[in-house]
Structure 1
Amino acid sequence: MRTALAQISSTADPRANLELAAAEIAAAAAAGARLLVLPEATMCRFGVPLAPVAEPRDGPWAGELERLADEAGITVVAGAFTPGEGGRVRNTLLVRGAGVRASYDKVHLYDAFGFAESDTVEPGREPVVVDVDGVGVGLATCYDVRFPGLFTALAERGASVVVVAASWGAGPGKVEQWDLLTRARALDSTCFVLACGQADPGEPSEAPLGVGASRVVDPLGAVVAQLGPEPGRLVVDLDPAAVQRARAVLPVLANRRL
């Protein structure tokens, strides 16, 4: 399966961000990709009030994303914000296009390093796996990558690929942690990990706006391809049989006791 990752830098304008997404969808389709991953907060960057931009899963922003994906004939994963309870929103990954229509609400909220995502975001509750061309694709968002149980749960539900869409917070050692965690989660689940983050905006911020470093990691934890901090694209062919080979030699899922 040919996959694409688009490391963009979202703005505070959802309409402008749709234009960014449209360009990346066109580029991925032209490259022959069947799955395109855009970052967390593609709809609107962090650091601004989120409730005013949140829309239903079948709202106009999601609808236009779906139209673009369907016209291109590929499945797109993109980070958005949907209405939650009590004035909060949900940090939602929309999965649209080529016969796939699903969503995932971020389970683990980023209440760490002095940031309190739970002040404005309501957590999700359920792992989600979708089928893309017969391949199980699990969904995770940013801080989720620190929780190995989610990744093993996704593998047990049929995932051989896990998407991690992120807007990773900057700070001392944070890029090194991103590298370690994405590789560890691939090993925990013996899945390919497609980790797509927001590009580094090049300005200091208390909000997690991104550090770049998007990458594809294979089921044995090796980095297949990666980007630096600036906006960019990756196109990588995944061999689903590599997952079965990894699980034959490293049967951590079968060997689990707890």
Structure 2
Amino acid sequence: MTGIRMAIAQPTITADAAANGKQVRSLMRKAAAGRARLVQFPEGMLSGYAKEQIADWSQVDWDTVRAELEQIMALAAELEIWVVLGSAHPLTPPHRPHNSLYVISDAGVLIDRYDKRICSHTEITHFYSPGFEPVVFDIDGYRFGALLCVEVNFPHLFSQYERLGVECLLLSAYPVDVGFEVKARAHAAINCYWIAMSLPGQTVDLMPSGLINPAGIYTTQVAGQSELAFATIDRDDPTVTGPLKHARPWRAAATKGDIYRSRAVTDPRSSNRTAL
């Protein structure tokens, strides 16, 4: 098998961090049994997501969140699987938590954390502190990046990851409208990389979780109320030769602009835009 095999989770999130952690570990075991190298979970999976499961941070037992996270890290090492896990990340009081994705290696090490940079109006006003940095990491020679939910509306975040050499963007979310899928597919096609979407079971009526290829086409979807699907990212797949080998390099050159500046002309019929 070429490429890298991943699992995309679509679990139902609860307000109980212990129940969420148990569900995460169950799906990790299924992902490992299916030979996945990485398993991705939705936004807010461990702690619960603000506005949905969480009305106030005083409802969250942070000691339980931490204990569950430590068990998940230990299991990642045991199963030798990478985990990208959505959760609120507590800060020092009185600061509000980040809305985060924990990146846990197959050695059970928390190697990085993506903190949502562009929070919604309600999130930034009442619930979360913003982050400010992109996150990239490599697994078996493939480069991944991470974004969260409402950030789907900000193209510059997706193009930044293209410039950082990302081949698969992990987009974990808790979507509220069907337009989310259209935007995600467009970003995949425009930037010529895979986008993996992990969404909660609560939003299956809007769209499925799944993997979108660099042509903007779903290659895998989580079926119905299922909780997990497997997908393979393979840069040598002939069906994505056009986007990866031709379109992406050309668009990078076009964005740089030298091919146009070298062909600039000095001509009054060019500079006079009202000439017939």
Sort the TM-score into its range (normalised by shorter chain).
0.7 to 0.9
Name the structure with the higher strand share.
Answer: 1
Q: How does 1:136-155 map to 2 (within 5 A)?
A: 136-155=143-162
Once the two structures are aligned, what percentage of the paired residues are identical? Answer: 27
Q: Residues 254, 168 of structure 1: CA spacing in aligned structure 2 closer, same or farther, 3 A cutoff?
A: same
**Secondary structure in structure 2 of the residue aligned to 1:221:** coil
Q: Does 1:88 align with 2:90?
A: no
Deviation at 1:253, TM superposition (A): 2.9
Deviates more, 1:190-199 or 1:39-48: 39-48
- AA paired with 1:193? I
Which residue does the alignment assign to 2:196? 194
Q: Does 1:18 align with 2:29?
A: no
CA distance in 2, matches of 1:235, 1:122: 33
CA distance in 2, matches of 1:51, 1:121: 13
Q: Which runs of 4 or more aligned residues in structure 1 lie more than 6 Å from their structure 2 counterparts after TM superposition?
A: none
8 Å CA contact 2:174–2:203 kept in 1: the answer is no
Name the structure with the higher helix share.
Answer: 2
Q: Does 1:97 align with 2:92?
A: no
Deviation at 1:59, TM superposition (A): 3.8
CA distance in 2, matches of 1:54, 1:108: 26
Q: How does 1:26-45 map to 2 (within 5 A)?
A: 26-45=29-48
- AA paired with 2:13? S
User: Which of 242, 246, 249 lines up with 2:246 in the alignment?
Assistant: 249
Which residue does the alignment assign to 1:108? 118
Q: Does 1:66 align with 2:79?
A: no
CA distance in 2, matches of 1:18, 1:158: 32
CA distance in 1, matches of 2:224, 2:190: 26
- AA paired with 2:235? P
8 Å CA contact 1:51–1:89 kept in 2: the answer is no
Deviation at 1:188, TM superposition (A): 2.6
CA distance in 1, matches of 2:194, 2:84: 16
Deviation at 1:244, TM superposition (A): 6.5
CA distance in 1, matches of 2:203, 2:194: 27
Q: Does 1:227 align with 2:222?
A: yes
- AA paired with 2:118? H
Which stretches in structure 2 are left out of the alignment for 5+ residues? 258-276
Scaled by the length of structure 2, the TM-score of the pair is: 0.80
8 Å CA contact 1:17–1:43 kept in 2: the answer is yes
- AA paired with 1:249? H
Between structure 1 and structure 2, the one with the greater Rg is: 2
The CA RMSD measured in Å over matched residues stands at: 2.4
Q: Does 1:164 align with 2:163?
A: no
